[in-house]
Structure 1
């Protein structure tokens, strides 16, 4: 405090301030920030100094004016379709933009100077969440707490657990428990594009039932099962019909993630011990189980550090990429997906660093995750090998799903910088769009008995 100013406060006023300070609740002061200097979910309301990041408007809830949306299972029209890039970052001009590029983006620009680029569009912060999410977030301030050595969390469902995170473990929980769709019922294509131009194809059916924001979940405490999932392999042909059933819990110490596998050849269901972590999933083995949405599952193998905030160019409002007018042959190029279909915007992100604990094993010795402040979704990840070399760099496109009134995971790309290949995941451009927040999925569908009876 400025001492000269402090001395000008009259004694009575100073005593009053002291009394008020003694009775003031830190939790109350934090709650007061939500909806004022912070959004109700914990992001900074204000824009940045140079205006490239706008102030949060939150002017749209659901479908924007002038946009037609036909409900669950429909495509999402681009509300910014008329915009053009402000500029494009390439290997030739990247040095002018290094402060806003992640290590992974810099590596991709250097490795693929002729095919990778970052088209930068005007930034938008126009969509907001429903009030019930704001209410539960406010309830979590001063109430939410980490449990069992940071392996679990006690919080009110449907809200951000720690809208003002104070350490890496709290930030991690926000990333693991953002505003997810209650139901995700979708078929996704996968394509591994090798450096010689050959492509290997996969196709998965994913049926995910989230237990945080269904009508019966809102405001209840986080305990028991966090999410059910069924993953059915449709391609390649040699694996067709294999099914993985998984139960994920809010507390990984009390209830480690469990999974069962159905094999159509033996027609048997077997439990999968040690499920998760760096087990490969999908065609080519280019991503791990815990790479889904850039990180998921148990945090136990890493020490988590909140590095701070940065302003970066990140994939955002990726509507063009989700369009059924996009053809795989045009999108999937050697080195990277065609940047003409990508949209990057300047946004603030939280930086979360994970370092492998002594005595634990994982393919990645260090991970750096970049988490969008407005959505708490990880949008980029840099993964390092045991020698400290940047090995894989991944990015996830997101778009606001109008019917679900939240941001949803779109096309996700996993780049292997050593082999020169990449996996493009969550492709739907040439098949049906995902059904987000439908009503077909029910908990009884996620039992081993149902798995046996399905004959999948």
Structure 2
């Protein structure tokens, strides 16, 4: 793993300067954070008719009971939907829906629906994260035509809380707060058209270099996070491990990835774990950069900032994460069981990524909608090379009020052409919730560690 970027020539230095002069904001602009804007850059006030309330600090620890296994309680368990959008009445609400949502109503008119609940702006974070966001606003700049970051090691969170461009909005999703180091077990499935599926269990170990005592700040300055994913079931896949060192400037230093195949007992470099390489155990239903709704280097697309709009998005999805539900309650033919979902009216940032000339990717365009309070992508429409809407992603976000961090209760990626989908991030049948007591060492995230992690 290399240290942070070293500028070797004067020409390169001038190039980096030229591509970064518009990023950091002025002291005057930064004063909006925590006043007219939330500390991470959302509009603090509500909308004109009150259907979106003002932000009042979000949920705090203890917002609802947490069970003995660490599963979050639902602060809004007694609420009922205000109304439900169906194929029969969708025309009334189409101005507040994404093209992908409208396509899902057309593809599954009898079963797809959107239950709309009262809006609660639950996003919250520790004060240290808010302080870091302001440091980002004043210091973080883009390099390599916007596809890398400079000075982000001073803050670590929310690169551009007052964004000016589309790529800066995308960077906010990529650099949003993850809380701290953690271990999370997730279930994933790719149902057939008739609904048959096999659960794939994957353990994720996540390490943040600035929260790991044995990582040198200088050598880790271009690392956003370390991730190790271990397939634990079914038996035919168990023991396969992927290791990722996620770099900030992936133009200069591409993502470093390794894989361990339990059958071959070999560790290999894995450059395919990026862009449109196949996703882990996904049966061809997602790309590597479909994980976390969108991840990785943004350099293959031109990103246009469309602006903001009000939209019905998956939100406060505590019920969907409940241990009272079984995977069979959620996974149904065509799409997840919408009876267990919750949508609310929120403001979103709208960004369109168009594949650059000379670049390749199976998605020629990505139309992304990001929640303004968390910077988490919640709806993404994926278009193929013919300009046809192909896959629709929905991220069912909720606030882990113990940690003050936005997480996904589930993510669905729906293939409109194949009539199949992938659902991930499920944890309803786990033996325990996310483990935030994880104290990793750098040795946990080395290629040498993969062989030990993959032993069946």
Under a length normalisation based on structure 1, what TM-score does the superposition of the two structures give? 0.89
Q: Which runs of 5+ in 2 are unaligned?
A: 1-23
Q: Give 1:295 deviation, angstroms.
A: 0.7
Give the distance between the partners of 2:368 and 2:36, measured in 1 at CA.
Answer: 25
Deviations 1:131-177 (A, max 9, x none): 11111222222321001222211223243221110011211111110
Moved more, 278-287 or 351-360: 278-287
The 2-side partners of 1:362 and 1:394 are apart by 17
Which structure 1 residue ranges, 4+ long, deviate > 4 Å from structure 2?
212-217, 219-222
- The answer on whether the counterparts of 1:201 and 1:283 sit within 8 Å (CA) in structure 2 is no
The match for 1:273 among 248, 271, 278 is 271
| 1:60 CA drift (Å) | 3.2
Task: State the match for 2:254 in structure 1.
Answer: 256
Structure ID, larger Rg: 1
Q: Is the 8 A contact 1:375 1:407 kept in 2?
A: yes
* Inter-partner Cα distance in structure 1 for 2:51 and 2:34: 22
Equivalent residue number for residue 91 of structure 1 = 87
Alignment match of 2:98 (pick from 90, 99, 102): 102
Who is 1:237 aligned against?
A: 235
Which residue of the partner structure matches residue 400 of structure 1?
399
Contact kept, 8 Å, 2:166 with 2:304, in 1: the verdict is yes
User: Which residue is equivalent to 1:226?
Assistant: 224
Q: Is the 8 A contact 1:180 1:213 kept in 2?
A: no
Residue number in structure 2 paired with 1:441: 440
Shift of 1:254: 2.5
The equivalent of 2:166 in structure 1 is: 168
Structure 1 residue runs without a partner (length 5+): 1-24
Question: 1:55 and 1:220 mapped to 2: Cα distance?
Answer: 40
CA contact (8 A) 1:404 1:436 kept: no
Deviates more, 1:404-413 or 1:108-117: 404-413
* CA deviations over 1:397-446 (Å, ceiling 9, x no partner): 12211321211122111100001111111111122344242224332101
Kindly tell me the number of residue pairs found equivalent between the two proteins: 428
| Per-residue CA distance 1:369-399 (angstroms, 9 max, x = gap) | 1111000111111000000000000111122
Aligned: 1:425 with 2:421: no
Which structure 2 residues correspond to residues 166-205 of structure 1 after superposition, within 5 A?
166-205=164-203
For residues 454 and 188 of structure 1, do their structure 2 counterparts lie closer, same or farther at Cα, with a shift above 3 Å needed?
closer
Shift of 1:271: 0.9
Distance in 1 (alpha carbons) for counterparts of 2:248 and 2:31: 28
- On the 8 A contact 1:182/1:211 being kept in 2, the answer is no
Contact 1:147 1:153 survives alignment (8 Å): yes
The offset of 1:356, in angstroms, is 0.7
TM-score (ref. length: structure 2): 0.89
User: Do structure 1's residue 289 and structure 2's residue 288 form an aligned pair?
Assistant: yes
Contact 1:115 1:334 in 2 (8 A): no
Which residue in 1 is equivalent to 2:20? Answer: none
What is the alpha-carbon root mean square deviation over aligned residues? Answer: 2.2
2:315 is matched with 316
Offset of residue 450 of structure 1: 1.7
| SS in structure 2 at match of 1:141 | helix
Q: CA, structure 1 residues 314+306, in 2 after alignment: closer, same or farther (shift >3 Å)? A: same
- Greater shift after overlay, 302-311 or 231-240? 231-240
In the alignment, which of 141, 144, 151 is matched to residue 145 of structure 1?
Answer: 141
Aligned to 1:304: 303
